[in-house]
Amino acid sequence: MADTKLNRLAARLRAFPARPGTRFMEVCGTHTVAIRRAGIQKLLPDGVRLVSGPGCPVCVSPDRLIDEAAALARQGAVITSFGDMLRVPGSRTSLDRERAAGADVRAVYSPLDALAVAAASGRETVFLAVGFETTAPAIAAAALKARERRIANFSLLTALRLVPPALAALVAGNTELAGFLLPGHVSAIIGKPAYEFLAERGLPVVIAGFGAAEIVSSLLLLLEMHEEGVQRIVNNYPGVVRDGGNERSRAVMAEVFAPADAEWRGLGTIPLSGLELRPAYADLDARRRFRIVAEAAPARKGCRCGDVLRGRIDPPACPLFNKACRPDSPVGPCMVSSEGSCSAWVLYG
């Protein structure tokens, strides 16, 4: 940590007189990686801990999604997906394995790339619509584009998730969490008002950027508010996040998708925490378009990804961590994703 501003902030953080037993959650997988890569967890004052949350889209997607996508691939559809999803194990297989066995599975960088695959191939092309509020507007825009260009062989297998309902589920009842470091990119879409329930619940929260200095200054703000008993939502990423979020992106998202109950790995089914295509866009819904025959298997033994995503354990508490489950041979999704907590702990210590 060479720069002076960061050194000053780091010194203040280390010396902060915090109450022992204070636990904050960093919600977002990108924060988890940035924190561990910069060694920020080592700068926390004695007795203060950071735990990871459910903000890694690959990690929270249930096995069933991969089972469905693999079944569609075997049924002859072209499966398109962000690259991270290809290695994620479903209950019996992964999309990488299906591709090795001859299925047409393609990694794409954006939903519009998937639409281009559909237009060029003329074959039934399914895009795995995975992500949070950050990704959903771009997927909604691709759906609108498919309509506009009359590309009828394009559909979505949706597993989109919404962050605030998951946080509400985490703090329901008694929570040991003292506050949240909130994801900058998601917040750029939904804005500060989406988190008001956390402040009402007595928890300080800070919307943070992803640079080391931005994270350290956000942790200091959290500690100060916690010590002073102040419950506020602070936007500490004002260069990117407008307090009101991005109304236009929310409008595109709302045109195509409606909130629906959704299953999260480790958190179970959370009311209105996912997005489904509205009836007007039902023809783009792969689950309605195809009869998907997905074969599920019993949950894999030993993987504690669900507990990691709830902040209940740190990855090394999983008996498979860095033994049977490693970045080059992952057992669970928290080790597959570049934003997964387990892979961040292995790669950065």
Q: Interface residues with ligand SF4 (CB under 6 A)?
A: 302-305, 308, 315, 318, 320-321, 325, 331-332, 334-335, 342
Minimum Å gap between C-beta 125 and ligand SF4 is: 30
Nearer to ligand SF4, 250 or 265 (CB): 265
Q: Which residues are CB-contacts of 47 (< 8 A; sequence separation ≥ 6)?
A: 18, 19, 20, 21, 22
Residue 49's CB is within 10 A of a number of other CB atoms, namely 15
User: Helices in 173-284 by DSSP H: which ranges?
Assistant: 184-190, 196-200, 212-228, 247-256
Residue 258's CB is within 10 A of a number of other CB atoms, namely 14
Minimum Å gap between C-beta 336 and ligand SF4 is: 7
Nearer to ligand SF4, 124 or 314 (CB): 314
Minimum Å gap between C-beta 268 and ligand SF4 is: 17
Nearer to ligand SF4, 249 or 343 (CB): 343
Residue with the shortest CB distance to ligand SF4: 332
Minimum Å gap between C-beta 328 and ligand SF4 is: 12
Minimum Å gap between C-beta 89 and ligand SF4 is: 10
What is 26-93 written as a DSSP string?
EEEHHHHHHHHHHTGGGGSPTTEEEEEEEE-HHHHS-HHHHHHHHHHHHTTPEEEE-GGGGG---SS-
Nearer to ligand SF4, 277 or 342 (CB): 342
Number of C-alpha atoms within 13 angstroms, CB side, residue 85?
Answer: 30
Nearer to ligand SF4, 89 or 179 (CB): 89
